[in-house]
Amino acid sequence: MDPQVISSLIMGGSTIAATILGSAAALLIGRKIGRRQNLEEDLNQAVRDIRFLLAVEEAHCERNKARDNESFKNRTRSAVREAVGADFSGRFTPGNWKEAH
């Protein structure tokens, strides 16, 4: 084969390989960014849910306090802690979340 043809084939193959590698890298990076955005939205929704549930807890405690002169908040949290085997970290409460982000 003619050296010019071989050179052209090598250059063409290199261009195709570079295009394939660039496309693959863009695909992987795009997927990673998309997954990160999905995780961030899930986290933000979880924080909104926590905000809502804390407001429900507060309203419930206020009703208990009006009725029984005690909110039972700590007793209820202790009972749930024992029943579920999980604890409330407070890490993602709306106030802590705003400070961190």
Domain boundaries, given as residue ranges, for the chain: 3-100
Residues 44-60, mean pLDDT to the nearest whole number: 91
Q: Given this model, what pLDDT does residue 20 score? A: 95
CB 51 within 8 Å of CB 44: no
Q: Given this model, what pLDDT does residue 39 score? A: 94
Rounded Cα distance, 59 and 61, in Å: 5
pTM of the predicted model over 0.85: no
